Structure 1
Amino acid sequence: MKIIFLDIDGVLNSELWNKDNEMEISKGKFIDSEKVRLLSKIINETKAKIVLHSGWRFWFDGNIMPLRKEAEYIVEVFKNYDLNIYDKTPDLTTVEIRKSKKFSMVKAQEILLWLDQHDNIEKYVILDDLDLNNKGIEMFQIKTDGVRGLTKENVEEAIRMLNYYDI
């Protein structure tokens, strides 16, 4: 199985998109459908499954059912592109990390724990705009630019990594 560890903010939305879409954001619609279309290209060409490793995963229950309207909206947009969330990473955050919003401190450990719990993973990529502070998984990360979000170049790199590179 191939996996995309997906962050949302800075990947499926961006600072530029946020500036131009204040009305949508006020309605809980934080996702740029153009970025979801780009994500769908990766899925269609690699057959990878999405594992949410974003803070957004807290907006879904253990069965990946939405708990908030923002999560309902992402499910709705994903359905438009025949996408769904396969799973989410475990939560290793502490009260201090949640208060300071320094989730990048544990994201790498959460991904590694998820990988340890799943032995049928052929290849994976991580789409995130943050530095994950871990040299061991750095080579599997496609670091997006939070100002622009997911780009065609990021998509091409992810497809290459999932279809051609060995881990």
Structure 2
Amino acid sequence: MINNIIFLDIDGVLNSDKYFSSIEDKEDTYTDPVAKLLLDIDMTKVKLLLKVVRISHAKIVISSTWRRMKLYPSIKEALINIGLPIVGETPFLEGQRGEEIRAYLADNQVDNFCIIDDEVFKDYQELEDNLIKTNFYQDGLTKEHANEVVKRLSK
């Protein structure tokens, strides 16, 4: 049984429009495709998430569309090496993200969970109480969001 799970989106959570503007000139300096993709992740947001998982003892399940990328296994490995406790991914279903999260919950014993996402999918319905909504056009994951995740996972 897993006590606390964070269903993690990446775009709009671990990056933002503001962050992409700050790295515009750097993307051409990398030839390695994994390094280029990792550049799309704001490490200050990763550090904030690391603090959340350390305090809440949460594990991470990736619900982002990034899990469909060819290079995802390498990205996942790099994030695990940084210290993120990634334990899996939601299944690929033809529905929307809420359906994928519900399928993961049905197949795994999870006591408590939180969803960090910048989108509210139509099929979130009963999951919305567990949603911490970030904003891609503002700053992605913030300290306020992080505090809310810790608070919700402490219930």
- What do the CA deviations read for 1:86-138 (whole angstroms, capped 9, x no partner)? 10000113xxxxxxxxxxx610000001000012x110000000012222000
- Any residues of structure 2 matched to 1:2-151 within 5 Å, and which? 2-26=4-28, 27-28=36-37, 29-59=39-69, 67-68=70-71, 72-73=74-75, 75-80=77-82, 82-93=83-94, 106-119=96-109, 121-133=110-122, 134-147=124-137, 148-151=139-142
8 A contact 1:90–1:113 mirrored in 2 = yes
Q: 1:92 & 1:73 partners in 2: Cα distance?
A: 21
Give distance in 2, aligned partners of 1:117 and 1:92. 14
Label 1:25 to 1:84 Cα distance change in 2 as closer, same or farther (>3 A): farther
Normalised to the residue count of structure 2, the TM-score between the two structures is 0.84
The residue identity in structure 1 corresponding to 2:46 is: V
Distance 1:92 1:4, change over 3 A: same
The separation in 2 between residues aligned to 1:48 and 1:118, in whole angstroms, is 15
CA RMSD of superposed structures (Å) = 1.8
> One-letter code of the match for 2:141?
L
Could you tell me the percent identity over the aligned residues? Answer: 35
Gaps of 5+ in 2: 29-35
TM-score normalised to structure 1 length: 0.79
Instruction: State the alpha-carbon separation in 2 of the partners of residues 154 and 36 from structure 1.
Output: 13
User: How far off is 1:74 after superposition?
Assistant: 5.5
Structure-2 separation of matches of 1:46 and 1:155? 10
Query: Which consecutive residues of structure 1, in runs of 5 or more, have no partner in the other structure?
Result: 60-66, 94-104
- In the superposition, relative to structure 1, how do residues 46 and 107 fare at CA in structure 2: closer, same or farther (>3 Å)? same
* Partner Cα distance (1:5, 1:51) in 2: 5
Distance in 1 (CA, whole Å) between partners of 2:97 and 2:136 is: 17
Count of residues in correspondence between the two structures: 143
Change (3 A) 1:123 1:24: farther
1:53 and 1:111 map into 2 onto residues whose CA distance is 7
* In structure 2, distance between residues paired with 1:78 and 1:36: 11
**Residue 17 of structure 1, CA deviation:** 0.1
C-alpha distance in structure 1 between counterparts of 2:105 and 2:27, whole Å = 33
Name the structure 2 match of 1:153: 144
Determine the C-alpha separation between the residues in 1 that align with 2:63 and 2:149: 17
Instruction: Work out the CA distance in 2 between the residues paired with 1:91 and 1:51.
Output: 13
Question: Does the CA contact (< 8 Å) of 1:31 and 1:74 recur in 2?
Answer: no
